[in-house]
Amino acid sequence: MTKVPAFNFSQGDSPLLVSMPHSGLALTQAVAAGLTEAATALPDTDWYIPELYDFIDQLKVSRITANYSRYVIDLNRPYDDKPLYQSKTTGLFPEILFSERPLFKAGQTPTAEHRHWCKEHIWAPYHHTIAQELARLKDKFGYAILFDAHSIPAQVPMLFEGTLPDFNWGTNDGNACGAALLDAVTGVVESRFSQVSNGRFKGGYITRHFGQPEQGIHAIQLELSQATYLDLDKAAQQHYQLDAKKRPDIRAQLQRIIEALLNEPPK
């Protein structure tokens, strides 16, 4: 159907794997042909996550980065598409935008055959690679940590009221990650940034499925407010660009977070 690989993967030499499931921009032909005008800018993308975390290679951290847009298939939803939240959200195959506008033009939603192909050729290999790498890291280091890196606009009325804090940590209410690791990352966030743990975002499927602290595998999700790094004036016009003044500060903060995970063996 397409020659775009489902993801890019690089293997490091530390106990940590960083997953970036929502930063992809590639579309299948069927999805591209059916998008509404409002959807063509891919507004619900986790913009520039690979660029913000470009330091992780030098820290010898493993990384898996999705290439396809979440509009093709959402890698942070379960294979069977069972809801993760009681409140309104989008599923494995989104049909609405975060603005609640239609994602596809009438009669142009991808077929069941297309969706099956996406599950088998995009979703399944992404999750299989995560599982394999976490098993390798645990075997080598005695434990493994999965950091699921996301971002989102500060205001999304469909998903939450008001304005989101800058850093939104999710550990499935402590079931996916040891408390010491959550303390380590929250402890290095500078006071000028706001943060919350297990608020509106408690971690998606990747965090909830792979996080098994009792088996030595810890998972934590960061939902980063895009107000911390995007040019908001341009974003309001659906032109998504890094803010040159914000980027160095948020990149340095993210590096301190990743280093804190590397320096804090789980208990």
Out of 50-64, 82-96, 230-244, least confident range: 82-96
Q: pLDDT tens across 129-151, in order?
A: 999 999 999 999 999 999 999 99
- pLDDT tens readout for residues 10-68: 999 999 999 999 999 999 999 999 999 999 999 999 999 999 999 999 999 999 999 99
Least confident among 89-103, 180-194, 227-241: 89-103
Is this model's pTM higher than 0.75 or not? yes
- Asked if pLDDT for residue 87 goes beyond 70, the answer is no
Selecting from 1.10.3720.10, 3.30.470.30, 3.40.630.40, 2.60.40.1180, what CATH number does the domain 7-263 have? Answer: 3.40.630.40
The length of the chain in residues reads 267
Q: Please state, in angstroms and rounded to a whole number, the distance separating the CA atoms of residues 253 and 248.
A: 9
Residue with tokens 């303390």: 183
Write the pLDDT tens digit of every residue in 90-112.
Answer: 789 999 999 999 999 999 999 99
pLDDT for position 60: 96
The confidence score (pLDDT) of residue 88 equals 60
In order of 86, 107, 129, 189, the CA distances from 146 in angstroms are: 25, 39, 12, 19
- Rounded alpha-carbon distances, angstroms, from residue 100 to 19, 103, 147, 200: 27, 9, 29, 18
Give the span between the Cα atoms of 39 and 3, in whole angstroms. 23
Nearest alpha carbon to residue 218 among 234, 207, 205: 207
CB 111 within 8 A of CB 1: no
Domain ranges of the chain: 7-263
pLDDT at 90: 75
Structure tokens that stand for 66 in this block: 């999705």
Please report, as a single letter, which amino acid is at residue 223: E
Mean pLDDT of 157-161: 84
Q: How far apart are CA 124 and CA 88, in angstroms?
A: 25
